[in-house]
Structure 1
Amino acid sequence: MKKSNIDAVIFDLDGVVTNSTPLHSLSWKTMFDQFLKNQAGKTATPFREFTHEEDYLAYVDGKPRYTGVKSFLESRGFNLPFGDPSQEPGQESICALGNLKDQLFNQMLTEQGVEIYPSTIELIHTLKDSGIPLGLATSSKNAARVLDITGLSDLFQTRVDGIVSAELGLEGKPSPDIFHKACDQLGAAYDRSVIIEDANSGVEAGYRGHFGLVLGVARENNQDELELHGADLVVEDLKQINLSDIHNWFAEDGQSKGWSIEYHSYDSAREGTRETLCAVGNGYFCTRGAMEEIPATLDENYPGTYIAGLYNSLESNIGGRTVANEDFVNSPNWLPLTFRIGSGDWFNPGKAEILKFHRKLDFKTGLLTRTMIICDQNSNQSRIQSTRFISMADPNLAAIEYKITPLNYEGTITVRSELDGTVTNLGVKRYRELSSTHLLPLIEGGEGPFSFLSVETNQSKIQIGLAAKLQVLCGEDLITPDFHVNTIQGKVATIFEVEAHSDITICVEKVVSIYSSHLPDTKDPLTKARGDIQRCGSLRDILDLSINEWKKVWDRIDLKVEGDRPVQKMIRLHLYHSMLSLSSHSSKLDVGIPARGLHGEAYRGHIFWDEMYVMPFFDLHFPDAARAALMYRYRRLQTARQAAKEGGFNGAQFPWQSGASGGEETQSLHLNPISGKWGADFSHLQRHVSLAIAYNLWNYYWITDDQDFLINFGAELFLSICQYWSNLAEKHPRTKRFTISGVMGPDEFHEENPGSQEAGLVNNAYSNLMAVWTFNRAFLILDTLPAAEKETLLNSLGIESDELGKWKEITSMLNISLSEEGILEQFQGYFELEELDWEHYKTTYPDIHRMDRILKSEGLSPNSFKVAKQADTLMLFYNFTESTIQSLIAQLGYQPPEDLLARNLHYYLPRTSHGSTLSKLVHSYLAFLIENNELSWTLYQDSLRSDFLDIQGGTTREGIHLGVMTGTILYIYRTYAGLDWTGKFLKLKPKLPPGWKEITFNLSFRGVRYFFKIGGDKIKLKTDSLGPQDISLGQQLVTIQPGNWETISY
């Protein structure tokens, strides 16, 4: 056994080595209860005690003392001065309260002593005997005293405690400072060191610190909490792990953990989020990770299945008004599969006693597995094992392997499998006042192991056909039970009985085929589905083909990060869900890129400008899918022209929310969940969505060199968008400058100027400069087209020389506002708005992401304040280089400063509430560009874990945020790899973050696939080209010969 793969093991003190948690918890409680009683007496309000479960674990456990005081006080709405660490107890300051807690703890420590964990001491001795350096890192300022009392001082070669932290200015957990310092003192590499912690803040510090193994000790039955905050492995006690296990982790297990997410308990409150994150799919359809046995229970479990591009519109009566809303249809549920023992109840995990639970999503294979041991009211114990997948090889097939093993009983087990077409759209709470029944039953039936179901949407008249077949094994033997098929309108159930014996497994294999009539050449989806089920092979055959196809996908998209396993896991989670939302199967479909993936009903499955954050990934990896997304827009060009015409314009006005028809699907009313009131919604004025389409089109063309698309479809689409924006621009008779009004920028908090009688803004900087860039690119496209095609296109669109002249004039005379300080004014009049009292709102509300809703609930308007939901003006610097923005501004006759980006970032970032998941991603990128690496990294980490931790107000349960998921992948390409694909050849300027050793990926650019291995000072490059390819690396131009890896220093 080699010990060289472990440099050091760093232990937390309390909860890991010693059990002083009861003393700490009691001293915190004594101090805070005294304070809270005093406050209750002063304010004549009820006293609410400090508790271990709700307060100690959530706000103070593992944190430095004063940080813990501040954290808890803020949770109760108290805002005390910090004070001074020398203050004596008795004063009302954070330091005084913290010092009182310390005084109480020391008294208890003297009187009662402290318990140690024998299993921890045993592991420590094993590690020492193996020559592995050991350290102690704790927030406690009493660590030395505790170690002396327990006689453990000599076990650790270094100690970084609260006193050391104060002397050195180290940040407390969840910052990794104290762990980094302990490793530094031992000469240990972070990625070869182990952190052992029991607190959420501690494992999060380990996560942030890029350590080789973060081991959580779940003393509080908090295994899932520790994993959620970054623990790689979790045990209830250190007797469950040994040195060999740690060595194996570094040798093998650590790599495999980067391919999956796992949960070890059933938590009904978080089940909705986990169902989203554990979805399976293939780009044609996607099914949430709900358990097979549980029906929809709205706020807990929601087994939705969604087919790309399948919409239906209904009318609803809201507040006396009739409104029409198009929904992303919740398609028939193919999952239901459960059992009962004897005449007992049908098994439902939400109502059962669960003795053991484990659920795992494997990104590499697309397999969702679950193992449970349950106990019924008669003390019968059963092991349930479920394996589910949707085929990546055949877009219409899915399957479940469901195993039941009696552990202590024998008797009759009855199994029930269903296809359920009675489902409705109730997955988003705020939509539940709207009409939600979209499916009408057509036919249901079956015979023997076969069943089928057909439904039709009641407005769009799209038919959905499902067929299923069952195969049953008892032990190793294939059996043919007596199948009974029961039907009610819209639902079919297949029921059978098996005589069960203890420890003999009953295995049910359920294979399902799903078709819809909005697919090409699918007029009769039920016939197609039934044919598939008759012809398809076994579940194992289907699975093997799917796994093989997933391997091909991962060979193309995988982004390997050596030196940061937590980031690696999140990156692969995001890659996986990106492929569930759009894949090569999409190339055969008429579908766009829904902002929330195919994972739920949020945003009604509509397509927004979020495509901008997603499209380049598919341009670089699956250009056929990217082209399909652009063809979705092209096929709705006529609808966009009609929308422009109805507004009095030429060209194409694409909708902010697009669905089946390409018409505007944005609600005219929107529910404010804070106030409970419905208000007008002007977000349809975000006309910049058309500019995003033009931007996506150009990027696709440039990256793929798809001349056929540009000539036959793309140029017409692009120029139609230019026609519309040319019409929007009005020339001032005196200044000769053009103004664009009546539009909104990306910041949805601002819909109009205060006091204005009309919705929309004037001269939004983002929209105007994007329009200038679009007109510039239009002339490049016209120069690219063959002469005959160019003339034909211009004639068909009615674009004459005067119109082209106006476009050219707009590119030099469009209005923007640039202050003397070099700040681009977000829109005309923005600088006159009121400043927001950010500190007031941060202390008043626990979550200020949606400041618009908060202000409206107070009778105020976000239109009156300098507050943004997300990047607006700054979004320009995400789309283009700083030099490009400076050139556009100069083209308009203004003089931008050299540090244009830095000035604008410093101005707008403090005025942004990050009400969109996309916001932190954009600001992180911009912080990287100005070399504010700490801010960039912090914001990127927030983006990377936003859906996994569900930080955006519990919205992940309604669907993933596809833009931020795919955007985090492109972020690494653009920042740490320094990749730029906007020129004639690829450019690289790598800058790996601290701790990262190498990133490996490949992509396709202009018909050539490039393979990269980027290290700290060297790059390995290879292409699949038949000839040499040029690539820019920093300041040097390098020619890569075909076939072989080339190593280049930088």
Structure 2
Amino acid sequence: MVTDLADLPVDLVGLHRLPGDTGAPQRLLGGGRPSTGWTLRYDGYDPGREGLREVLCTLGNGYLATRGAAAECQADGVHYPGTYLSGLYNRLTTPIDGRLIEHEHLVNAPNWLPLRFRVADGDWFSPDTGHLIDHQLELDLRAGVLTRVLRWCDPSGRLTRVQQRRLVHLATPHIAALETTFTAENWSGGLQVCTGIDGGVVNANLPEDAPLTRAHLHTEQTRITDHDTILLTAVTTQSRIRIAVAARTRVRDGAGHDVPVSRAPHSGEASFVGQDLDLDLVEGRPVVVEKVAAIATSRDPAISEPASAVCTALGRAGDFFDLLVTHERAWQRLWDLFDLTLDADDEVTLALRLHTFHLLQALSPHTAQLDAGVPARGLHGEGYHGHVFWDEMFVFPVFNLRMPSLSRALLLYRWRRLEQARHAARTAGYRGAMFPWQSASDGREETPDELFDRRLGQWIPDFSHLQRHVGIAIAYDVWQYYQVTADVDFLAEYGAEMIIEIARFLTSIVAYDPVEERYGIAGIVGPDEYHTAYPGARDAGLRDNAYTNVMTAWVLRRALDVINLLTGHHCGLLWEQLGISEVETRLWEQVSRRMRVPFHDGVISQFDGYGQLAEFDFDAYRARYGDLVGIDAILRAQGMSPNQYQLSKQADVLMLLYLLSAEELRDLFARLGYDLDGPTIEATVRYYLARVAHGSSLSRIAHCWVQARADREQSWALFLQALRADLDDTRGGSTREGVHLGAMAGTVDLALRCYTGLETRDDTLYFHPLLPTQLHALHAELCYRGHWIVVDLDHVRLRLLLRPCQAAPIRVDVDGSVHFLTAGDQREFDLAR
């Protein structure tokens, strides 16, 4: 057993060293250590890392999530006990420098956690001021339970052991529970416990939001509804969503028998309802305080009224043990679908499971019952204000192949906001649907015009809304969902309409150059985000971003494919409903063949003119600043801009190779009239790998994928760095604001699809495996067109087992050899080295 993960390094000897990679141990678990392949453990109390641990110990069920904060602590700069409900937003305005800034945030809901305690004649315990003897946190991923054990000594020398178990119920979405066991180790006497609900919370998780108005809630009522139950109701100030939280607190002895205790209403704090309980502790005899909470809102389906709903839910909820049993069963069912079993280093396996765990806590079958999208930072904090970005593109593949019904529900979040996207396009003078870069409640553009630069201490312009490729991502997500599921009904009723309207928008922003006889797009920003304008230009926007142009051609082809696919089914209705004409489809065909792709020096240019920018001195800046995360802010502080340099925040051109296979990309370029040969692809990859700062959490996902076949060792090193990003908080401390959900899903997808060479296109399931040396074997189950397929893969062979069912036979291509498999078939394929 080691006490520091740094003593248990991932062996990087012989790997191609990445820029800025010192070869130091990866510390994948951020100061934690694996207790088992399913358990993450933190020993000791570290105030400086408390925000990170709160995020990584968040518990959720897709409806609600609560950070792993100490129940006795309030938000104070070290602790931040946030609770978030999927899709619950509120809009505020803040007067700043004579103007109003409007912002919509995922709301920090009333805090159900508060459970403070003190020896009867002492101060309330705090881990920051109390004399801690021991402190341990243990997160059980298999069961979805967070256990905290501490021992503290008060000024009188009294030793008390406190053990807490916490869950957010996976089977019943409105329920959460906290069980606290107090044991007096060397004393007997009184212990006072305050159990409560705090409605006085604000959104204060983001330091850069300090100038903004942050109070999203107004407390309506607080009351004690029963001798052991308290209730708080609140309403959001603008969206007028009513939230009710009820909590029941009972006391039992170590044998599980009820213990009568004195209770008194807690007073003195606004927007707080609670009870003070007086316990009698006897040395060595544990006393258990059990708190079960219920949360509901007026947005929830199948309820009459939130306060009534939570009281009913509490009345039906069993005790902590009963809840634990059904909770663990629900998690087991999810793990049966989603666990990806690896034969690799223990910390790699645990880190990947931890990523899967947090993905499933933010998005679960309960999410499918709501009108909610994919929050880029999960339900773990207030990063990005809880908004929905294109990060969902990295999330959908995991659910497409495991729980396609959830993918379908999440795509409907976009479809319900299609009319808002149409309105945005019309207002801007375009046709079709212009989806926002940042989306929240109603689908309007939530990207702020300005951001607060903490380094400069001032507001700076934000041009992120010019990233028109978000519509491309939505079209891609719809098409990939169809390729996996063959869900023609979804395509006909929802998906085709989105693809066609996005195609209309893209053709309305292109401009034709009669000299080159090509179409191009100007005034946009690509995935890179560091480049928003040409050096010295007055107006924002760039010309002919290669990723956007090429994927525009891809979307237009898919729009034509959708029409052909639905012919004889729903196509007539679709043409009539959307007013599609042959003139329009001919334009799609023409543009899809004549989009311009810029090149320079034998590589694809990120955008027109990228090759003329100055080279960036990576070595000098790394020597001075280390990691280049936040290099844009550093340059601004020096009076410069990333716009001046060949410096990328994240994969841009290389995103093409992430989304499309080399074969698809060559075919697409050939259709556009360009020859994309192997040497050009290789040169392009080398060029951009040398010029990326990895300023985005998604960057290493795409680069890892691209390098999986060209350089497996470097791909694995990038994979480890992607695993590490949130778990060790390598992104400048931003993880305390929430996990990077797309990046976490991306690592799971890398193992599931990238290293197995799994593709779903042309009505075929492709496998082209090439495992990294460090990954010895892999086991997974996936859902493809109604079949559950068991996949077992090592470096020698691939085994596929189709479970018995009534689904139609499927076409499977393994390393170029085509096979037709039916339900119940089992095949083994030898792999060429």
Q: TM-score range by the shorter chain?
A: over 0.9
Partner of 1:147: none
Counterpart amino acid of residue 789 in structure 2: Y
Contact 2:499–2:558, Cα closer than 8 Å, also in 1: no
Higher helix share: 1
Partner of 2:311: 530
Relative to structure 1, the CA distance from residue 199 to residue 568 in structure 2 (aligned partners, 3 Å threshold; closer, same or farther) is closer
TM-score for the superposition, normalised by structure 2: 0.95
Contact 2:787–2:823, Cα closer than 8 Å, also in 1: no
1:707-722 mapped onto 2 (5 Å cutoff): 707-722=488-503
Contact 1:748–1:869, Cα closer than 8 Å, also in 2: yes
Counterpart amino acid of residue 338 in structure 2: I
Q: Secondary structure at the match of 2:725?
A: coil
Q: Whole-Å Cα distance in 2 between the matches of residues 478 and 754 of structure 1?
A: 72
Contact 2:32–2:40, Cα closer than 8 Å, also in 1: no
Relative to structure 1, the CA distance from residue 205 to residue 614 in structure 2 (aligned partners, 3 Å threshold; closer, same or farther) is closer
1:291-306 mapped onto 2 (5 Å cutoff): 291-298=70-77, 300-306=78-84
1:796-875 mapped onto 2 (5 Å cutoff): 796-819=577-600, 821=602, 823-875=603-655
The reply to whether residue 967 of structure 1 matches residue 732 of structure 2 is no
> How far has the Cα of 1:992 moved from its partner?
2.3
Q: Structure 1 stretches of 5 or more lacking a match?
A: 1-195, 211-223, 234-255
> How far has the Cα of 1:995 moved from its partner?
4.2
Relative to structure 1, the CA distance from residue 430 to residue 231 in structure 2 (aligned partners, 3 Å threshold; closer, same or farther) is closer
Q: Whole-Å Cα distance in 2 between the matches of residues 1019 and 596 of structure 1?
A: 35
The reply to whether residue 911 of structure 1 matches residue 691 of structure 2 is yes
1:990-1005 mapped onto 2 (5 Å cutoff): 990-1005=769-784
Partner of 2:20: none
Q: Secondary structure at the match of 1:717?
A: helix
> How far has the Cα of 1:788 moved from its partner?
6.4
1:279-318 mapped onto 2 (5 Å cutoff): 279-298=58-77, 300-318=78-96
Q: Whole-Å Cα distance in 1 between the matches of residues 547 and 438 of structure 2?
A: 19
1:437-836 mapped onto 2 (5 Å cutoff): 437-446=215-224, 447-476=226-255, 477-486=257-266, 489-522=270-303, 524-787=305-568, 789-819=570-600, 821=602, 823-836=603-616
Partner of 1:880: 660
Counterpart among 83, 91, 97 of residue 319 in structure 1? 97
Q: Whole-Å Cα distance in 2 between the matches of residues 668 and 291 of structure 1?
A: 36
Contact 1:448–1:482, Cα closer than 8 Å, also in 2: no
Q: Whole-Å Cα distance in 2 between the matches of residues 961 and 231 of structure 1?
A: 19
1:65-76 mapped onto 2 (5 Å cutoff): none
Q: Whole-Å Cα distance in 1 between the matches of residues 562 and 601 of structure 2?
A: 36
1:145-184 mapped onto 2 (5 Å cutoff): none
The reply to whether residue 329 of structure 1 matches residue 94 of structure 2 is no
Relative to structure 1, the CA distance from residue 523 to residue 647 in structure 2 (aligned partners, 3 Å threshold; closer, same or farther) is farther
Deviations 1:121-148 (A, max 9, x none): xxxxxxxxxxxxxxxxxxxxxxxxxxxx
Counterpart among 1000, 1024, 1029 of residue 803 in structure 2? 1024
Relative to structure 1, the CA distance from residue 230 to residue 529 in structure 2 (aligned partners, 3 Å threshold; closer, same or farther) is closer
Contact 1:877–1:901, Cα closer than 8 Å, also in 2: no
Q: Which moved more, 1:692-701 or 1:807-816?
A: 807-816
> How far has the Cα of 1:203 moved from its partner?
2.8
> How far has the Cα of 1:1026 moved from its partner?
3.2
> How far has the Cα of 1:884 moved from its partner?
1.5
The Cα RMSD (Å) is 2.1
Counterpart amino acid of residue 964 in structure 1: A
Q: Whole-Å Cα distance in 1 between the matches of residues 799 and 648 of structure 2?
A: 42
Deviations 1:742-765 (A, max 9, x none): 111001111111233321111110
> How far has the Cα of 1:1042 moved from its partner?
3.6
Mark the structure with the bigger radius of gyration. 1
Q: Secondary structure at the match of 1:351?
A: coil
Q: Secondary structure at the match of 2:445?
A: coil
TM-score for the superposition, normalised by structure 1: 0.76
Q: Secondary structure at the match of 2:764?
A: coil
> How far has the Cα of 1:1007 moved from its partner?
1.1
Counterpart amino acid of residue 980 in structure 1: E
1:341-420 mapped onto 2 (5 Å cutoff): 341-420=119-198
> How far has the Cα of 1:793 moved from its partner?
2.1
Contact 2:32–2:41, Cα closer than 8 Å, also in 1: no
Q: Structure 2 stretches of 5 or more lacking a match?
A: 16-24
> How far has the Cα of 1:1046 moved from its partner?
4.3
Q: Whole-Å Cα distance in 1 between the matches of residues 627 and 675 of structure 2?
A: 39
1:83-98 mapped onto 2 (5 Å cutoff): none
Partner of 1:1013: 792
> How far has the Cα of 1:818 moved from its partner?
2.5
Partner of 2:763: 984
Deviations 1:700-742 (A, max 9, x none): 1111111221111111111111111010011224433212111
> How far has the Cα of 1:688 moved from its partner?
0.4
Q: Secondary structure at the match of 1:847?
A: coil
Q: Whole-Å Cα distance in 1 between the matches of residues 817 and 265 of structure 2?
A: 71
Partner of 1:928: 708
Contact 1:655–1:689, Cα closer than 8 Å, also in 2: yes
Deviations 1:666-692 (A, max 9, x none): 111112232222110001000100100
1:131-146 mapped onto 2 (5 Å cutoff): none
Counterpart amino acid of residue 51 in structure 2: G
Contact 2:708–2:755, Cα closer than 8 Å, also in 1: no
Contact 1:200–1:226, Cα closer than 8 Å, also in 2: yes
Partner of 1:204: 9
Q: Whole-Å Cα distance in 1 between the matches of residues 84 and 337 of structure 2?
A: 26
Contact 1:559–1:1001, Cα closer than 8 Å, also in 2: yes
Q: Whole-Å Cα distance in 2 between the matches of residues 266 and 1013 of structure 1?
A: 41
Q: Whole-Å Cα distance in 2 between the matches of residues 548 and 209 of structure 1?
A: 44
Relative to structure 1, the CA distance from residue 847 to residue 586 in structure 2 (aligned partners, 3 Å threshold; closer, same or farther) is same
Contact 2:163–2:181, Cα closer than 8 Å, also in 1: yes
Deviations 1:949-988 (A, max 9, x none): 1101011110000111010011012232221222423222
Contact 2:340–2:780, Cα closer than 8 Å, also in 1: yes
Partner of 1:274: 53
> How far has the Cα of 1:1048 moved from its partner?
3.6
Deviations 1:237-268 (A, max 9, x none): xxxxxxxxxxxxxxxxxxx6110211001100
Q: Which moved more, 1:445-454 or 1:314-323?
A: 314-323
Q: Which has the higher contact order (CA 8 A, sep 6+)?
A: 2
State how many pairs are aligned. Answer: 817
Q: Secondary structure at the match of 1:402?
A: strand
Counterpart amino acid of residue 609 in structure 1: W
Relative to structure 1, the CA distance from residue 675 to residue 733 in structure 2 (aligned partners, 3 Å threshold; closer, same or farther) is same
Q: Secondary structure at the match of 2:666?
A: helix
Q: Secondary structure at the match of 1:310?
A: strand
Q: Whole-Å Cα distance in 1 between the matches of residues 622 and 28 of structure 2?
A: 28
Q: Whole-Å Cα distance in 2 between the matches of residues 746 and 471 of structure 1?
A: 53
Q: Whole-Å Cα distance in 2 between the matches of residues 278 and 383 of structure 1?
A: 21
Counterpart amino acid of residue 437 in structure 1: A
Deviations 1:45-68 (A, max 9, x none): xxxxxxxxxxxxxxxxxxxxxxxx
Relative to structure 1, the CA distance from residue 1018 to residue 929 in structure 2 (aligned partners, 3 Å threshold; closer, same or farther) is closer
